[in-house]
Structure 1
Amino acid sequence: EYLQAYKQMPENPLVNLCAGTALLNLALGFRLQNKHQCVAQGLAFLYNNLRLCENSQEALYNVARACHHVGLVSLAASYYEKVLAIHQEDCPLPKLVKPDTDPTRQAEPGYCDLRREAAYNLHLIYKKSGAVDLARQVLMDYCTV
């Protein structure tokens, strides 16, 4: 399904994201003979998404999370660090239009910054590799109020 959508809209970031994650999940979920090829194709779609989103924080996080998921932890760590280097402003959350709401009311800010999530995942990588002090420092720097 996603590959058919990709044929019609190859420059759509969402289609690339969906195709990439679907291929990665397929590679990890079944006993495939070409598992490595499937992972490589999934990552190619995610890198295409990264290019289309112009290295946005969200796209970097998606690549980092995918690498972490398939066990490429050193690559994941470098992408998590790139996420930590970008400060993302909060964006307004969309509201459902209801007849009893005031249309002049401002949208509430949403949480769009992925640095905490990236820091937590990076801390897991550091902790598993034995760098407990570094893991603790990442949590203190990005996950405490």
Structure 2
Amino acid sequence: MREKFPDDALLTLLLAVGFLSMAMQKHIGSRHLAILQAVGFLGEYKRLRGDCQEVYYNIARACHQLLITHMAIHYYEKVLAMEPIGNNPEEKSVTNLHREAAFNLALLYRTNGNPAMARHILQKYVVI
């Protein structure tokens, strides 16, 4: 399938998610190989989609799932630093991932013993 659609970003992301899912299973031959495959496909996905909130959010989620918290925090913060894509406010509100990234970032801060920072992030990006 990949040979037919080498420039399909969605297919590349789905392959990365599939390898991440395999890596999280108990009975897998080589967890490290599955993680390397996932990281490789995430890198290819980033190359295909470019720099945008969506890409950094998906990379952050993968790092979060793998418990690589320092990298997850870095990529969630990149999402928060970027403007959403769109030509008007309505389009931007649909593509904006600030709330999702902020919620997950707050979970990481709370889990790692920094409830004040978690509260700050939630108040800044999530509270209406």
Q: Structure 1 length normalisation: TM-score?
A: 0.80
The structure 1 residue matched to 2:96, chosen from 113, 122, 125, is: 113
The structure 1 residue matched to 2:29, chosen from 33, 36, 44, is: 33
Q: How many residues align?
A: 126
Superposed CA deviations along residues 28-77 of structure 1, whole A, max 9, x for unmatched, are 12411210110111121012111211111101100100110111111111
Corresponding position of 1:75: 71
**Radius of gyration: which is bigger?**
1
Q: What one-letter code is carried by the residue in structure 1 that aligns with 2:100?
A: E
Corresponding position of 1:18: 14
Corresponding position of 1:143: 126
Measure, in 2, the Cα distance between the counterparts of 1:44 and 1:123: 27
Measure, in 1, the Cα distance between the counterparts of 2:12 and 2:26: 21
Measure, in 2, the Cα distance between the counterparts of 1:87 and 1:144: 18
Greater fraction of residues in helix: 2
- SS of equivalent to 2:61: helix
Q: Percent identity?
A: 34
Q: What one-letter code is carried by the residue in structure 1 that aligns with 2:113?
A: G
Gaps of 5+ in 2: none
Shift of 1:80: 0.3
